[in-house]
A and B are shown apart, each in its own frame.
Chain A
Amino acid sequence: MKPAATLIAALALSLATLAGFLHGNPFQSAGHALDWLFGAPPAWTQVEHTVQSAEFQEISRGERPLGSLRQLEAGWQRRTGARRVVLIGNSQMLSVSLAAGEPPPQGPEPTYSDLLSRELAARSRNPVLCYRLAAPGMSYTEALWYVLYLSGRPHLRPDAVAIQLNYQSFWNGGVRAGMQELLADEDFRARVEQEAQGQEAYAESFREALAEYRQRSTRVAAGPKPSSPGDALESHVRQVAAQWPPLSRKYAHRDGLLETLYRARVYVLGLKPTTARSITGPRMRRSQASLEAIARLCRAQGTALILFQAPLNPQVDLYRTAEDKSRHEEFLARLQQISGSPLLDWERSIPAPQWGKWMNGPDPLHLSRAGHRSMADRMIRAIDDALRLNAPGSGHGI
């Protein structure tokens, strides 16, 4: 074969292999192989098919919340008179990890936020409209981001905000790219710009988010008038490439790879989600400052704040030292003082049998079917209490 033809054939073979990779899911398969090798529970115990409802949830899970929130705004505008509650939290609100003895799901599995949203909305007297703003690994800076957005939209202002507090979330930071699309709202952008100029520890995250958003929106806004001829060509080539269906799944492959690397971390290095940790430093400060800002904002605007310590598997202790625990408790006490709201300590409220297994150890965060039911009951009582405290006539939320 001629050299050029040989090279073309080798390249064609590579592209065919690439198409095969993109069409299949090699990273997910590798993850499953690791699970099998290290004795993880059956995949169906980690329920993927959960309830999807645009009425009660931000369904993009933080990846494109603007559409969901606009839909919510229109919905809430129609339902005048009902009280409104927003629940903000991480994957505990989104996922179900079935415990031993719980049968496989027969249909979409509800989480506690779905259970309580349905029940509270269906009440014949004093219905309450609940909405879940949750995303995996949500940071408290992102929680503040959401609360600021809600406070600027009259039809989205809730009567109560429930914030899930769990120690490991203090390690999360920043505002994910998907949530930055809320900056399309001019009032919100102005508010974020104002906060970004401030001295609070989260101001840098806001500045970063603004910079990233501006960079992206410059290109999007440029549309037919790109910043350079190369930019225009790149946009065109990407548009053409996007027509190829396997390529549209590239981010799913990235998630698959990261998930597999995470599994390798847990299985091989033994760095598990249940490993005790000391959380300090800039991310901790940013998280604390964000929560304090939420508390101040809610208090100033007369919104009830439901602060609850998220349930934690009793088989797990995430505080590495006693000092870590007391430092965390000190902060929670300060937060109660700022907000004027009591802290609902549910950290040890769900007994061990109501927790599932994750990979090769106890699931520290995700509740089982029974756990979600129990949590829903608790939260309904907490919401009722909070709304009684914040009775109509005392102003309509933040």
Chain B
Amino acid sequence: MAFNSYSYLVALLCVVVCYWLIPTAWRKWFLLLCGAAFYASWSPYYIALPGLVGALAWWCARGMLADQARLRFWMRLVIVSALLLLAYFKYSAFLWRTLAGSATQVPAWLAVAMPLGISFYVFEVIGFLVDVKQKRVKAPALADVCSLTMFWPCLTSGPILRFRELVPQLNAARRFDLATAVNGIDRLMTGLVQKNFIANSLGSIVAEGFLPKAAAANSTLDNWAMAVAYGLQVYFDFAGYTNMAIGSARLLGLTLPENFRFPYHAANPSDFWSRWHMSLSRWIRDYLFFPINARYQGAPLPLYASLIGIMALVGLWHGAGWGFVAWGAMHGAYLVLYRVWERVCTGRPGWAEAWLARWGWRVLTLAAVTLAWVPFRAVSLDQSLRMLGSMIAGFDLRLSYNVNSYLVIALAALLCAVEPLLDALQKRLGEPTGAAAALRFWVWRPLAWACALLLFLIFDDRDAQFIYFQF
């Protein structure tokens, strides 16, 4: 049941109505049940998996809290188990092909379908255990831990939640709040339009432009256009999903962490990662990068190497393929480059503040992020190298596709460019009062929702899945 399906919208309406009608004490259990039903709607065979991972984490957390002497043992036990589970489902076939050769048939016991959302709830569970170790979480209940792994808005593609930001909200008694619910519907509608209208429109252009034979014949300009188009498609697709997840949760009175903050407006590579897939960046920062940073403080080379290694692993987390690793490693290299620049600028504040440096980094970041999307989307490393070669060293400005394709890309880019302006304008105008508020609520908002639903319906494509579902 994808968020942009008819059945999801009907089911969400029923769930929201029931949720607010039942007694507060039942709500947590009701959401757990909904999570199970949502997961079963995708795959009844793996329904127990997120619950089992949650139960295992709860059992180990209890062990950690009860047996401080063997705390590390308990934590490692569950982290290794969760990672092994992830490795089996997600990477075994990839490892087999890498070691035995791509032409070799993968044995049936390794070629299993990946359970939906496993990458996300495994990370949530690891984060939970680190929080238990660091005493940020005290005496968790089994139902609470399972609520984390089975919370349906985030089950398939995040945002990656922390136990301490979700469970207290689930356990608190809340009343229905109109402003929160309206905001939830706003987010839901925004997500529907981002996915069905924008991302799907870009999807067909990207699909053609990245076909291996087509890509081989693309001009420099075509390759840049396709890379930009894919960057925009991923952004609107994933931001659309996230908006729908956040909107669904808001309708239940729950607040989820944001995942995007105008990423293509980043001032530098480091800033990009504080704006792109923020819940993943936060997880990496807190549970991987901070410990490593603390370990290698004062030793830049090992730190830089580990930074590239971490980002390559982040790439691998996205998918079992060398293209994903290359994407991660490229981002690692960008981050290292920026760190070196920061080091060079230490003691020279004028350099870092110079207009040229600031805008130079902004433009370089945008170009570098766009280049990195090529291996992420290309069918093979060979294709990536060919496209990247043309983008960096070529100068062929022919247009090979219908002019409408370039216009769609340009329109999506323009929309992305003005997003912060629209946001700032909205904040500046503030919430209207009196007649203006009534006009906004009873005229503009229903009109906007109706327009969003119309775009959702007329650009509906049942076959177009969310890109991040495969991760």
Could you tell me which A residues sit within 8 Å of B by CB distance? 3-4, 6-7, 10-11, 13-15, 17-18, 20-22, 171-174, 201, 203-204, 208, 212, 215-216, 219, 228-230, 233-234, 236-238, 241, 247, 250-251, 253-254, 257, 262, 265, 269, 271, 277-278, 280-286
Assess whether B177 is interfacial by the CB under 8 Å rule: yes
Q: Can you name 6 extra interface pairs (CB under 8 A) apart from A247-B457, A250-B457, A254-B458?
A: A7-B178, A13-B446, A14-B453, A215-B463, A228-B44, A229-B44
Counting residue pairs across A and B whose Cβ atoms lie within 8 Å, the total is 138
Assess whether B181 is interfacial by the CB under 8 Å rule: yes
Across-interface contacts of A234 in B (CB, < 8 A): 1, 5-7, 462
A17, A236, A285: residue with the most chain B Cβ atoms closer than 10 Å: A17
Evaluate contact between A15 and B7: CB separation under 8 angstroms. Answer: no
Evaluate contact between B222 and A10: CB separation under 8 angstroms. Answer: no
28 A-B interface contacts by CB (under 8 A):
A3-B177, A10-B446, A18-B450, A21-B450, A22-B454, A171-B401, A172-B402, A173-B401, A201-B213, A204-B211, A228-B41, A228-B43, A229-B40, A229-B41, A230-B1, A230-B7, A237-B6, A238-B462, A250-B457, A250-B458, A254-B458, A277-B403, A278-B399, A280-B219, A281-B401, A282-B216, A282-B217, A286-B214
Evaluate contact between A208 and B450: CB separation under 8 angstroms. Answer: no
- With known contacts A22-B454, A229-B40, A233-B1, A17–B447 Cβ distance under 8 A: yes
A215 and B40 alpha carbons, distance in the complex (Å): 21
B458: min CB distance to chain A, Å: 4
Assess whether B364 is interfacial by the CB under 8 Å rule: no
A207: min CB distance to chain B, Å: 8
A10 and B445 alpha carbons, distance in the complex (Å): 8
Which residues of chain B (126-175) have a CB below 8 Å from chain A? none
Which residues of chain B (210-236) have a CB below 8 Å from chain A? 211-219, 222
* Contact of B398 (CB < 8 Å), options: A241, A269, A271, A280: A280
Assess whether B468 is interfacial by the CB under 8 Å rule: no
B381: min CB distance to chain A, Å: 19
Across-interface contacts of B176 in A (CB, < 8 A): 3-4
The 5 tightest CB contacts between A and B, nearest first, are A281-B400, A230-B41, A17-B450, A3-B178, A282-B214
Across-interface contacts of A174 in B (CB, < 8 A): 208
In the complex, which residue of chain B has the Cβ closest to the Cβ of A262?
B404
Please tell me the number of chain B residues within 8 Å of chain A, measured between CB atoms.
54
* Contact of B7 (CB < 8 Å), options: A7, A237, A278: A237
A272: min CB distance to chain B, Å: 10
* Contact of B453 (CB < 8 Å), options: A18, A215, A281: A18
Across-interface contacts of B403 in A (CB, < 8 A): 271, 277
* Contact of B182 (CB < 8 Å), options: A10, A173, A201, A219: A10
Evaluate contact between A257 and B20: CB separation under 8 angstroms. Answer: no
Which residues of chain B (22-62) have a CB below 8 Å from chain A? 40-44
Evaluate contact between A281 and B6: CB separation under 8 angstroms. Answer: no
- With known contacts A3-B177, A204-B211, A228-B42, A283–B400 Cβ distance under 8 A: yes
A67: min CB distance to chain B, Å: 22
In the complex, which residue of chain A has the Cβ closest to the Cβ of B401?
A283
Assess whether B258 is interfacial by the CB under 8 Å rule: no
A280 and B400 alpha carbons, distance in the complex (Å): 5
* Contact of B446 (CB < 8 Å), options: A14, A238, A262, A278: A14
Which residues of chain B (399-414) have a CB below 8 Å from chain A? 399-404, 407
In the complex, which residue of chain A has the Cβ closest to the Cβ of B453?
A18
Evaluate contact between A204 and B212: CB separation under 8 angstroms. Answer: yes
In the complex, which residue of chain B has the Cβ closest to the Cβ of A207?
B211
Evaluate contact between B404 and A265: CB separation under 8 angstroms. Answer: yes
A4 and B20 alpha carbons, distance in the complex (Å): 10
Evaluate contact between B222 and A238: CB separation under 8 angstroms. Answer: no
Evaluate contact between A281 and B458: CB separation under 8 angstroms. Answer: no
B223: min CB distance to chain A, Å: 11
B6, B218, B404, B447: residue with the most chain A Cβ atoms closer than 10 Å: B6
In the complex, which residue of chain B has the Cβ closest to the Cβ of A202?
B213
Assess whether B96 is interfacial by the CB under 8 Å rule: no
Evaluate contact between B400 and A14: CB separation under 8 angstroms. Answer: no
A4 and B213 alpha carbons, distance in the complex (Å): 55
Evaluate contact between B453 and A278: CB separation under 8 angstroms. Answer: no
Across-interface contacts of B445 in A (CB, < 8 A): 10, 14
Across-interface contacts of A20 in B (CB, < 8 A): 450
Evaluate contact between B10 and A204: CB separation under 8 angstroms. Answer: no
Assess whether B271 is interfacial by the CB under 8 Å rule: no
A11 and B9 alpha carbons, distance in the complex (Å): 13
A332 and B144 alpha carbons, distance in the complex (Å): 71
Evaluate contact between A10 and B6: CB separation under 8 angstroms. Answer: no
Across-interface contacts of B359 in A (CB, < 8 A): none
B196: min CB distance to chain A, Å: 11
Evaluate contact between B43 and A7: CB separation under 8 angstroms. Answer: no
Across-interface contacts of B407 in A (CB, < 8 A): 265, 269, 271
Interface string of B426-458 (1 = CB under 8 A from A): 000000000000000110011101110110011
* Contact of A17 (CB < 8 Å), options: B181, B182, B446, B458: B446
- With known contacts A3-B178, A10-B445, A233–B450 Cβ distance under 8 A: no
Assess whether B422 is interfacial by the CB under 8 Å rule: no
In the complex, which residue of chain A has the Cβ closest to the Cβ of B410?
A269
A30 and B141 alpha carbons, distance in the complex (Å): 58
Assess whether B207 is interfacial by the CB under 8 Å rule: yes
A181: min CB distance to chain B, Å: 15
A14 and B399 alpha carbons, distance in the complex (Å): 42
In the complex, which residue of chain B has the Cβ closest to the Cβ of A173?
B208
A240: min CB distance to chain B, Å: 9
Across-interface contacts of A238 in B (CB, < 8 A): 6, 462
- With known contacts A3-B178, A212-B463, A234-B6, A257–B1 Cβ distance under 8 A: no
Across-interface contacts of A172 in B (CB, < 8 A): 402
Across-interface contacts of B447 in A (CB, < 8 A): 14, 17
In the complex, which residue of chain A has the Cβ closest to the Cβ of B17?
A4
- With known contacts A230-B42, A282-B214, A283-B401, A6–B1 Cβ distance under 8 A: no
Assess whether B351 is interfacial by the CB under 8 Å rule: no
Evaluate contact between B42 and A14: CB separation under 8 angstroms. Answer: no
A254 and B456 alpha carbons, distance in the complex (Å): 10
* Contact of A14 (CB < 8 Å), options: B5, B216, B450: B450
A272 and B213 alpha carbons, distance in the complex (Å): 30
In the complex, which residue of chain A has the Cβ closest to the Cβ of B449?
A14
Across-interface contacts of A283 in B (CB, < 8 A): 214, 400-402
* Contact of B458 (CB < 8 Å), options: A204, A215, A253, A280: A253
A202: min CB distance to chain B, Å: 9
In the complex, which residue of chain B has the Cβ closest to the Cβ of A238?
B6
Evaluate contact between B217 and A281: CB separation under 8 angstroms. Answer: yes
Across-interface contacts of B211 in A (CB, < 8 A): 204, 208, 282
Evaluate contact between A13 and B442: CB separation under 8 angstroms. Answer: yes
A204 and B43 alpha carbons, distance in the complex (Å): 32
Evaluate contact between A204 and B213: CB separation under 8 angstroms. Answer: yes
Evaluate contact between A284 and B20: CB separation under 8 angstroms. Answer: no
Across-interface contacts of A11 in B (CB, < 8 A): 185, 449
Evaluate contact between B5 and A282: CB separation under 8 angstroms. Answer: no
Across-interface contacts of B212 in A (CB, < 8 A): 204
Across-interface contacts of A17 in B (CB, < 8 A): 446-447, 449-450
Across-interface contacts of B441 in A (CB, < 8 A): 10
